[in-house]
Homo-oligomer: A and B are copies of this chain.
Amino acid sequence: MHSPHFTAESSSDGMVERDFTVGDIPGVLWSPASGGDHAPLVLMGHGGGRHKKEPAMTGRARLLVNGCGFHAAVIDAPGHGDRPRTAHDERDIAALRAAQAAGEPEGPIVVPYNARLAELAVPEWQTVLDALQQLPEIGADGPVGYTGLGLGTAIGVPLVAAEPRITAAVFGMHWPDALVETAKRITVPIEFDMQWDNERIPREASLALFDAFASKEKTLHANAGKHFDWPRFEADSAVRFLARHLGRADTSAP
């Protein structure tokens, strides 16, 4: 196993951003400019149709790096960001757009689409985690967390179930159908976000997925409003949750 291959580096305000590849998987690693020696690492899953440098990812990275002194990493999901789309991807995306245009439920399309991406993405994440832990500033002994909503949950639930190195996770904003049985095998602390008036994901569906986790410590955060009304303060809450569980005393994140 090799370290990631770094392809670009920049820094601002105390945070170093390094683009990398592991095989043909493109990703980005954010670290404290001070080095972050063996600091906790948070793997972040982007949303459906988004990519590794969407503002939700760069914003959380800043909270984790500058607020907590952690490392944070994202990879592009299959068919997303800098990665090629397959004919299967194109068909799924066309079906999703047709359903949206017709005002039909998205779940019957998004659920199997995301489940297919997760099957590809879980071993990719494990390979990337192996590679990141080869870096001397990360190492194999530091705590690892995960945070991702939507597609980030569709991939994250089977990843966390399969990966004992991940000891705390933030999930949410997804249908339970393909995830409930896997969620029942997860016992690490969980924070789970849902929108109370989500027009895409029925309320009972979100509650059922939260209910499925076997974690002794799990917290549901349900906020009034529709899918895209998800409030920004939940990003701060997710970072506090990860800071609390990944073993750093510094919980001064905003």
A254 within 8 A of B: yes
Q: Which residues of chain B are near A216, meaning CB under 8 Å?
A: 224-225
Given contacts A233-B244, A251-B254, A254-B251, contact A222 B224 (CB under 8 A): no
Per a CB cutoff under 8 Å, which of B211, B221, B251 touches A219? B221
Contact of A222 among B217, B222, B225, B252 (CB under 8 A): B222
The complex places the Cα of A217 from the Cα of B221 at a distance, in Å, of 13
B224 and A215 contacting across the interface, CB-CB below 8 Å? yes
| Tier of interface size on chain A | 20 to 34
Most buried by B among A207, A210, A220, A254: A220
Distance A220 CA – B192 CA, assembled complex (angstroms)? 11
Give the complex CA separation of A225 and B217 in angstroms. Answer: 8
Is A133 an interface residue, CB under 8 A from the partner?
Answer: no
Copies of the chain in the assembly: 2
Residues facing B in A23-62 (CB within 8 A) are: none
Contact of A218 with B by CB under 8 A: yes
Contact call A196/B220, Cβ cutoff below 8 A: yes
| A185-211 at interface with B (beta carbon < 8 Å) | 196, 207, 210-211
Q: CB < 8 Å: which of B196, B211, B219 contacts A223?
A: B219
Whether the pair A224, B233 counts as a contact (CB closer than 8 A) is no
CB < 8 Å neighbour of A218 from B207, B217, B219, B224: B224
Inter-chain contacts of A211 with B (CB < 8 A): 196
Interface residues of A in 230-247 (CB under 8 A from B): 231, 233, 237, 244
A217 — which chain B residues lie within 8 A by C-beta? 223-224, 231
For A252, the chain B residues whose CB sits under 8 A away are 252
Interfacial residues, chain A to chain B (CB-CB below 8 A): 196, 207, 210-211, 215-225, 231, 233, 237, 244, 251-252, 254
Beyond known contacts A217-B223, A219-B222: 9 more, CB 8 A cutoff:
A196-B210, A196-B218, A196-B220, A207-B207, A216-B224, A219-B221, A219-B224, A220-B221, A251-B254
CB-based closest 10 A-B pairs:
A220-B222, A218-B224, A219-B223, A221-B221, A217-B224, A219-B221, A216-B224, A251-B254, A252-B252, A215-B224
18 A-B pairs in the complex with CB atoms less than 8 angstroms apart: A196-B210, A196-B211, A196-B220, A207-B207, A210-B222, A216-B224, A216-B225, A217-B223, A217-B231, A218-B223, A218-B224, A219-B222, A219-B223, A219-B231, A220-B221, A220-B222, A220-B223, A237-B237
